[in-house]
Amino acid sequence: MSASRDIVEAAAVPAGAAAASAHPPRWRAGWLNSSRGLGLILLMPALVLVVLFFLMPVVLTGVFAFTNMSTATGISGGTYQVTPGALRELADRHGMDELAEKLGQPSFVVDEQGLKALEEMGIEPAIIADLREGHLGETHASRREFERMLRDLPERPDTRTVKRISGEFSRSLANSRFSSRESLLAAAEGVDPELTEEEKTALVQATYTGWVWTADNFRRMASSRDTVRILLNTIFFVATTLIIFNTAFAMLLAITTHYIPERPAGIFRIIWFLPRISPAVIYVLLWKWFAWDTGFLSAFLDNFGIRPRNWMLDTAANAWFFVIVINGFVGASMGMVIFSSAIKAIPESLFHAASVDGAYRWQQVRHIILPQLKWPILFVTCYQTLSLLTSIEQTLLATDGGPGGATEIWSLAIYHTALNNYAGNLQYGYGAAMALVLVVIGIVLSLIYLRVFNYRALVAKPRIEL
Amino acid sequence: MRILLDHFSKSFGSVRVIDDMTLEIKDGEMLALLGPSGCGKSTTLFAICGIHKVTSGRILFGDRDVTNVSSQERNVGVVFQSYALYPHMTVRENIAFPLRIRSLPEAEIKRLVNEMAGLVHIGSLLDRRPAELSGGQQQRVALARALVRRPNVLLLDEPLANLDAKLRLEMRSEIRRIQLETGITAILVTHDQVEAMSMCDRIAIMNNGQIIQIATPQEMYRNPRTAFVAGFLGNPPIAFIDAVARDGMLAVENADIRLPIPREADRVPEGTPVVVGIRPENLGTEGDAAIRGRVSFIETQGRENLYDITLANGKVLRSIQRVRDDVSLHDEVEWRVRSDQLFLFAQNGERL
Ligand SMILES: Nc1ncnc2c1ncn2[C@@H]1O[C@H](COP(=O)(O)OP(=O)(O)OP(=O)(O)O)[C@@H](O)[C@H]1O
Ligand SMILES: [Mg+2]
């Protein structure tokens, strides 16, 4: 009845009006009006921030990882310096022992360059002529030898003149510094005119003090014993903290508070939330006071005749205990809150049904609560793995990786490598490479987690059939 | 199994929800707990299955006192209003759950689940999850899960409330069929009188945490103990008018209507104000008393019509009759009522 009336009404509308309504008026057609265009504009500030503060650091980490930047190289360009270290590198890494020795030794070469200098200094032309005719091209390994030769010249120059002359023929490069590649090579050719291209490249590389592009960081990481140790420390730290505290303990708290009355449960939850909401420095400081050699623990155990000591840094095992507990209590509160609210979201009638079906509490936990907490468990595991991998402040404040590197975890190692170490040479490039590895590990782990927990099945919409 | 609630009371804090209720459900019987929302039906049910602890009184299953037995040990099957199916389990696992918890052998579980699935006609749905089922199918699964453990008693908390009208009709007879086939003692909680009357052997009608009357549906319909009961049963519902006993008759004020006093209530003192209840099907062409009024509304129901008659004093009576061509809206009519089918109530609602 009403449908047929609609048809009649539609037919009554003039054809022109119908056509007009089919095409929106021109002023509405701008791209700004499409929700896509407007959305982009509204998103712009957020996009800029994301790029600046989220994407850029990762990209820069990736870039720095392929350099050898450090305090020594600086982050801008450098000079060419023939240091003993550079010469050693030339010998050890490039196998050019001979060249290194030649460049390092003081050597005196009679060449046209030196003779020209003598002319300008106003040395007696006869001496110059003697040198040119009798000795051009000669090389002397030491100043003494060279100066003896000078004194033996027919003109017999006096000692002062000998010193002046020998200075001009000194061709040693040791400890000299050049501002450019060209001047370095020119000087080197003065010592050894027959430099090969290969030798030149090696020399430039060995003497350059600025940073260069290199994949050495990764080679070094792969071959370093420290890497393995730090990696094992990290795996141990993350796995233990995650399993014991961030999931198991958090779940225990959530389930316990689910089964006790609301008020005590709330108070209980807040207590476990304190570590999270107190500033890390203060929280860790409290632990330090607790474990100090004049702190609570020592004072208490003193009563039983146990020698006071710094319990936190006493042994590696103790250090690990404190590091895991300190980090664990911080992480447990998050899991607890997430699990609690997930349990609360389970309809109460399910627990009633389970009760009358004969399930006691632990059976309810196993058959009703845990299976329905798959997604929160995945989320907490995933999130906490990543945050533990990158967490640093509690461990830094508590043990700073000690004693003797026993609790040195990856993130802390990055910090020590790149930002703060006792040696004073901060290796930005190497630190960035380590950070890049951490980022890659994080991404890989996330992908694995999503796979294992079958992300698709979890988020799939239920198909309701009526 | 016979279930007995013996002087059972339940309070939440200082609020007394059930006050001294005594109720016996006979072995193999299906009893309806009927009452308006908030009268304490679910509370009673939860006390029987052990989810709520009773404040005072006893609960007996057969001769066994289960007052202090936990719900896990009572062996009660419950179909909750929301069905409460376990969403992460398949239909098969849902039905098997009570058996798994009791650690029955796998083969036995399989056999019982299949048997039960056959009984409630869901054999082809066993591998689906609850979210993939319709309301009626979920209902059947819940029923199967409640019955599979061979419970002492089956409790149904408004099991049909979430279904559409057609499905409700179908499940009504299904539940009754299954209850009769298994011979289980059952309690059906409902606020729908049609459900209670059509499905149950007896009805216990509740109001404000108390049982007003327990009787078979027929008996309760014919012989309501109070005006509340009379008003609760019957659709369209009974109509009440105020009257006064005068000269051995019932005079309706300002309406020029005089009704004879029904025989079973003839000791009504002169001048007593009473409430007269007239069921719609009793007002019509036959009877020994006349009622005059004006037809103020006609509702077509197909086979029959429902007529509203407004009396001279403004009160409205209802009459249900086969479709009549001689009556139209605003007609003045004089219809008849049989005095032995009138219900007489005192002002406080008690039957006279
Ligand atoms: N846990 C509780 N705490 C306090 N009061 C409650 C609680 N449960 C129920 N009540 C109260 O007890 C009374 C009876 O509740 P009950 O759930 O038994 O009603 P009902 O008859 O099942 O009603 P409905 O038909 O709406 O389900 C209500 O007034 C309700 O507010
Ligand atoms: Mg209820």
What is the least distance, in Å, from the CA of A333 to any CA of chain B? 27
Q: Which of A30, A49, A64 is the last residue of a domain?
A: A64
pTM of the full predicted structure?
0.72
Q: What was the pLDDT predicted at A12?
A: 42
A180 found inside a domain: no
**Residue-range definition of the domain harbouring residue A20:** 2-64
Residue-wise pLDDT for A248-300, tens only, equals: 999 999 999 888 888 888 888 888 888 888 888 998 898 888 888 778 888 88
Number of domains in chain A: 2
* CA separation for the pair B86, A359 (Å, rounded): 13
Contact partners, residue A183, CB within 8 Å, separation at least 6: A80
Residue-wise pLDDT for A166-224, tens only, equals: 777 777 777 777 788 887 787 777 777 777 888 888 878 777 877 778 888 888 888 88
CB contact under 8 A, A349 and B82: yes
What is the position in ligand 1's atom list of the atom closest to the CA of B209?
14
Q: How far is the CA of B189 from the centre of ligand 2 (A)?
A: 8
> Which tokens hold the place of A231?
């990696």
Q: Which residues of chain B, if any, have pLDDT below 50?
A: none
CATH superfamily for B239-345 is Nucleic acid-binding proteins (2.40.50.140)
A327 found inside a domain: yes
CB contact under 8 A, B98 and A358: yes
- What is the domain partition of chain B in residue ranges? 3-224, 239-345
Who lines ligand 1 at CB under 6 A? B 12, 15, 17, 35, 37-43, 191
A183 found inside a domain: no
Among A352, A374, A464, beta carbon nearest to B132: A464
A384 found inside a domain: yes
Taking CA A120 as the corner, what is the angle to CA A119 and CA A121, rounded to the nearest 5 degrees?
90
Contact (Cβ atoms closer than 8 angstroms) between residue A374 and residue B117: no
Q: What was the pLDDT predicted at A33?
A: 61
Output the CA–CA distances (angstroms, integers) from residue B148 to B76, B113, B184, in the order listed: 11, 7, 12
A37 found inside a domain: yes
Q: What was the pLDDT predicted at A13?
A: 41
Q: What was the pLDDT predicted at A1?
A: 39
What is the position in ligand 1's atom list of the atom closest to the CA of B41?
21
User: How are beta strands B186-190 and B153-157 bridged, if at all?
Assistant: parallel
Radius of gyration of chain B (CA): 24
Residue-wise pLDDT for A5-57, tens only, equals: 444 444 444 444 444 444 545 555 555 566 677 888 888 888 898 888 888 88
| Per-residue burial over B24-50, b = 16 or more CB atoms within 10 Å of its CB, e = otherwise | ebeeebbbbbbbeeebbbbbbbbbbbb
H or E element: which one contains A454? none
> Which tokens hold the place of A98?
């001979």
| B295: helix, strand or coil | strand
Q: How far is the CA of B291 from the centre of ligand 2 (A)?
A: 41
Q: How far is the CA of B76 from the centre of ligand 1 (A)?
A: 21
Q: What is the 3-class SS of chain B, one letter each residue?
A: CCEEEEEEEEEECCEEEEEEEEEEECCCCEEEEECCCCCCHHHHHHHHHCCCCCCEEEEEECCEECCCCCHHHHCEEEECCCCCCCCCCCHHHHHHHHHHHCCCCHHHHHHHHHHHHHHCCCHHHCCCCHHHCCHHHHHHHHHHHHHCCCCCEEEEECCCCCCCHHHHHHHHHHHHHHHHHHCCCEEEEECCHHHHHHHCCEEEEEECCEEEEEECHHHHHHCCCEHHHHHHCCCCCCEEEEEEEECCEEEECCCCEEEECCHHHCCCCCCCEEEEEECHHHEECCCCEEEEEEEEEEEECCCEEEEEEECCCCCEEEEEEECCCCCCCCCEEEEEECHHHCEEECCCCEEC
> A357: domain CATH number?
1.10.3720.10
| B293: helix, strand or coil | strand
Q: Which of A64, A88, A113 is the last residue of a domain?
A: A64
Q: Which of A30, A45, A64 is the last residue of a domain?
A: A64
Q: Which amino acid is at A464?
A: I
A149 found inside a domain: no
User: pLDDT category, A431, cuts 50, 70, 90?
Assistant: confident
Q: What is the ipTM of this complex?
A: 0.85
Q: Whose atoms come closest to the Cα of B37: which ligand?
A: 1
Q: What was the pLDDT predicted at B65?
A: 92
Query: Going by CA atoms, what residue is nearest to atom 19 of ligand 1?
Result: B38
* CA separation for the pair B108, B105 (Å, rounded): 5
Show contacts of A289-296: CB within 8 Å, 24+ apart: A291/A322
Q: Which CATH architecture has domain B3-224?
A: 3-Layer(aba) Sandwich (3.40)
Q: What was the pLDDT predicted at B34?
A: 92
Q: Which residues lie at CB < 5 A from ion ligand 2? A: B 42
Q: At residue B205, what are phi and psi to the nearest 5 degrees?
A: -95, 130
List A178's β-bridge partners, or say none. Answer: A80
> Which tokens hold the place of B149?
């453990």
